[in-house]
Amino acid sequence: TCSLLRSPKGFPELKNDTFLRAARGEQTEHTPVWCMRQAGRYLPEFRETRAAQDFFATCRSPKLCCELTLQPLRRFPLDAAIIFSDILVVPQALGMEVVMVPGKGPTFTEPLKEVEDLLKLRQKVDVTAELGYVFQAITLTRHSLEGKVPLIGFSGAPWTLMSYMIEGGGSTTMAKAKSWLYCHPEASHRLLRLLANVIIDYLVGQVAAGAQALQLFESHAGHLGPELFQEFALPYIRDIAQGVKSKLKEEALPLVPMIIFAKDAHYALRDLARAGYEVVGLDWTIQPQEARAQIGKHVTLQGNLDPCALYAPKEKIGELVKKMLESFGTQHYIANLGHGLYPDMNPEHVGAFVEAVHAHSRHINKH
């Protein structure tokens, strides 16, 4: 039920705030759970909805984004929804062309090759003009959720977006993008600053549109070592948290919890814990106890079941979830996967994961 008729504000009252309470470090009866890429190709209804559509045309349709965001919530008792969109809408807003190539993924028709190419980018971006379709999708979805669960908005982080813009798509080494960091550090900082400024406005716009939490995806953190991360990723991750929070205050908007997910950045957990985010997301390659020791008790952790664990039989998924909950503890914690769901996963196994989190966390909290 995604009709565009209702007025933007006057949102329905929230019925399940478990995710938001856990994000803010408050006590919860059960551990909340959601999945990265929960609106995705593993659902047959998703494939049907998306069948005839160009991927980015889907992203630009508030009605379709709303429908795709709601699909997993009709199947599973998830504790949060995340708006259906893509991190590459930000480079598009800067004037770059991105197409989705079947079997290859997102591809930039003209990636950044020379430092001079930065001049082709829009230096001032009006996010409402360029990304208003995401804001409309958020407002529509927030109404259509009818207060069932909170709605998460998101953006890619500057380094991750920069790496796509230079590589022109996915890459196993990120060699072209990393060569900029070594050969053109000043130009790299110019690009990262431009991205950070747009991301701050974009995230604030998402809250104004109705997002109740925000996640920043630094998906390519693993390609950087500690030195490059310190210089080219962390300062912008920090600035985004600070910039978003001060603008939300200025505009009298709700101060929503923010999540930083930097994949494969074990080397930076202590810094990420102090970067201004309420929640630090973890991938599956780190021990929960180790992460908790580095991050401390004041920041909520999110993660981190290996997505491939969902290929296991349902009983096994239950055992793995129980072990994960015992390792993290059920409080100051949001259960999730260590990365997104894969297209060939069985929806029933996703359901088993969600239900196991609720059942085992309730049991542990009682005893």
- Within 8 A by CB and 6+ apart from 212, the residues are 14, 20, 142, 150, 151, 152, 254, 256
Residue 11 is assigned to a structural domain of this protein:
no
Instruction: Specify the 3-state DSSP secondary structure of 305.
Output: strand
Q: What is the rounded CA–CA span in Å between residue 345 and residue 359? A: 22
User: For the CA atoms of 245, 9, 82, 122, what is the dihedral angle to 10 degrees?
Assistant: -60
What pLDDT does 6 receive? Answer: 46
Nearest of 91, 113, 98 to residue 176 by alpha carbon: 113
Residue 47 is assigned to a structural domain of this protein:
yes
What pLDDT does 4 receive? Answer: 57
Q: For residue 151, which phi and psi values (nearest 5 degrees)?
A: -110, 125
Residue 4 is assigned to a structural domain of this protein:
no
Quick one: DSSP state of residue 216?
A: E
Residue 12 is assigned to a structural domain of this protein:
no
Q: Which residues of 37-49 are buried (b: 16+ CB within 10 A; e: fewer)?
A: bbbbebbeebeeb
Q: What is the rounded CA–CA span in Å between residue 280 and residue 261? A: 6
Q: How many domains does the chain have?
A: 1
Residue 145 is assigned to a structural domain of this protein:
yes
Residue 10 is assigned to a structural domain of this protein:
no
Nearest of 159, 162, 154, 241 to residue 205 by alpha carbon: 154
Residue 3 is assigned to a structural domain of this protein:
no
Q: Are 147 and 87 in contact (CB under 8 A)?
A: no
Q: What is the pTM of this model?
A: 0.97
What pLDDT does 261 receive? Answer: 98
Q: What is the rounded CA–CA span in Å between residue 325 and residue 69? A: 26
Active site residues: 37, 41, 50, 86, 164
Q: Where in the sequence is the domain holding 117, given as residue range(s)?
A: 17-366
Q: What is the CA radius of gyration of the chain?
A: 20
What pLDDT does 7 receive? Answer: 47
Q: What is the CATH number of the domain that holds 147?
A: 3.20.20.210
Residue 167 is assigned to a structural domain of this protein:
yes
What pLDDT does 103 receive? Answer: 87
Q: Which residues of 299-335 are buried (b: 16+ CB within 10 A; e: fewer)?
A: bbbbbbbbbebbeeeeeebbebbbebbeebbbbbbbb
Q: What is the mean pLDDT of each run of 10 residues along the chain (367 residues)?
A: 61 97 98 98 96 93 98 98 98 97 94 98 98 98 98 99 98 97 98 98 98 98 98 99 98 98 97 98 97 95 98 98 98 98 98 98 97
